[in-house]
Structure formats: C-alpha cells, structure tokens
Structure 1
Amino acid sequence: MTEKTEFAQRLRDAMLAAGYPDRPAVLEREFNSRYWGRSVTFQAVSRWLRGQAIPSQDKLQVLADWLRIEPQALRFGERAAMAVREQRGRWEDPKFYPERDAIEAFLALPAAQRKVVRDVIMTFAQTLKRPDASN
C-alpha cells in the first residue's frame, strides 16, 4: 500500500466510525460546510477517498476536527499518533515543569539574547556528545 492509499483507508474508516457514509458527495458537503477557505471540489475529495491525493495540512485539520480523530492518526496512522502522545506526555510530566518554565522564558527574550543562550546550550550539548569530554 502507498502512503496515499493508506490515508484514503483511514479517511474512509474515520467517516464510517463517525456515522457518515464514505461517499465523495458526503465528504464534499461536510468538509465545505466546515472549511473557512476556498471550497474543495467533488473531484478533489474523490481523489482523497481513492488514494490519489492527500489534503494539505489545513484541510487535514478540518477533517480531523469534524471526524473527531487526531490529525496525526488520520494523516500517518495510529502508531504515529501514539508517538506524539508519548512525547506530549513527557512534556506534561510535572518533573519537567522547571524546563518548561525555562523554555518559555527563553522564548520571551529578544532575538539577540536568544541567540546567545542557544549558542551556550549547543556548546554544552556538543561537549556531552564527544567521547573524550570530561564531566
């Protein structure tokens, strides 16, 4: 299976799971009623469902919101969504709150100061990667 055909299968499955028939006319109507940009055509959604095209990220997000599925799971499959959840779980772990606070403070700095801090961090990181570095 190709990436596009796998996406098409996930899209059809998500439509059916949400109680919608996996028909292009239904997809066109439901998508366009939720999308703030230029409407998509019947031909475009048909290509999505046949595995000939994958929608852009903004359209994918609308599909995921409508079908109540994580965008990563719709686009890349459940394994990718699980990997994202794992990373998010680490970030939300209370033991990492001080690092989160430091990153937020870093992002609030002016660009010149962020560059200095980034250079210091990268120097430390490179030093730790070298096998001959003494701790």
Structure 2
Amino acid sequence: MKNVKTEFAERLQMAMLAAGYDPKPAVLEREFNQRYYGKPMTLHGVRRWLLGQVTPPNDKIAVLAEWLKIPPHELSFGAELPKQIEQRRKEWEVSISYQEREVFEAFLNLPAEQKKIVREVILAFKRSLR
C-alpha cells in the first residue's frame, strides 16, 4: 500500500516528465533552487522528495507547482481529489429537499451562539438514535 509521501514522489516525477524534465535529483535541485528565494535545497533533500521519504512544505510545493505548471493541490493530493469533492457536493445537492435546504439556509443565517445551541440539539438527537 502506498503512503502519502510515495504518492507525492510519483506525482512529482510524472509532473517533471510531463514538463519535459528528467526526474533526477540534480535536475530538480537546479530547477527548484533557481526559482525558490529561501534557503536552497540540497541534492540530498530533493532526492528524498523523489524517493518518497519526505514531502516538502507548502511554500516549496507552490514553487514546484508553478515551475511544473500544475495546480499545487494536484501535486499535493492528485487530480482525483477535486473530482471526488465535486462528486460528493453534487450528491449532497441532489439528495436534499427544498424544505431541508430552507432549514440549512436559516441555520446559516443564525448568530453564532444560536448556531451552537441548534448544533447541540441535533447532535443530542443523533446520539439518542444509536
């Protein structure tokens, strides 16, 4: 089973290939450090990204994504995540009725303290149904 770091490494390698770069540490180190204004990455550091041992922090992912011309979230999480989120949103919108939607909108317009009370009541009902 793959982990998050391994999957990131695969996406990074594929993005490099798609952008016309050899997915080698020396290439990654050179190209990244030309674009990043913080402390430069070492060859060892970028090799760990490519091997799936470490994932870079968000500021470095943003630089990688800009260089490779892909959305940062796609580099971090893959292209499937936005599709899954959109699918769940569509399922949600289809599954609720007009009356439920009206209740949700009324809830969203309540002051924070009243929202807290309504939330507690709903959660109490949920617990009682177990």
Q: Which runs of 5+ in 2 are unaligned?
A: 92-100
Distance 1:45 1:14 in 2: 15
Equivalent residue for 2:19?
18
CA RMSD of aligned residues (A): 3.7
Asked whether the equivalents of residues 12 and 22 of structure 1 are also in contact (C-alpha less than 8 Å), the reply is: yes
Amino acid at match of 1:2: K
Aligned residues between the structures = 122
Any idea what the Cα deviations from partners look like across 1:77-97, whole Å, max 9, x if unmatched?
23223224556889xxxxx9x
Equivalent residue for 2:116?
119
What is the percentage of aligned positions where both structures have the same residue? Answer: 43
Distance 1:49 1:55 in 2: 10
Q: Which runs of 5+ in 1 are unaligned?
A: 91-95, 107-112
Asked whether the equivalents of residues 60 and 75 of structure 1 are also in contact (C-alpha less than 8 Å), the reply is: yes
Give the secondary-structure state (helix, strand or coil) at the position aligned to 2:35: coil
Asked whether the equivalents of residues 8 and 50 of structure 1 are also in contact (C-alpha less than 8 Å), the reply is: yes
Structure-2-length-normalised TM-score: 0.65
Give the secondary-structure state (helix, strand or coil) at the position aligned to 1:33: helix
TM-aligned CA deviation for residue 128 of structure 1: 6.2
1:48-63 aligned within 5 A = 48-63=49-64
Structure-1-length-normalised TM-score: 0.63
Give the secondary-structure state (helix, strand or coil) at the position aligned to 2:76: helix
Q: Does the C-alpha gap of structure 1 residues 65 and 86 become closer, same or farther in structure 2, counting only changes over 3 Å?
A: farther
Distance 1:14 1:89 in 2: 29
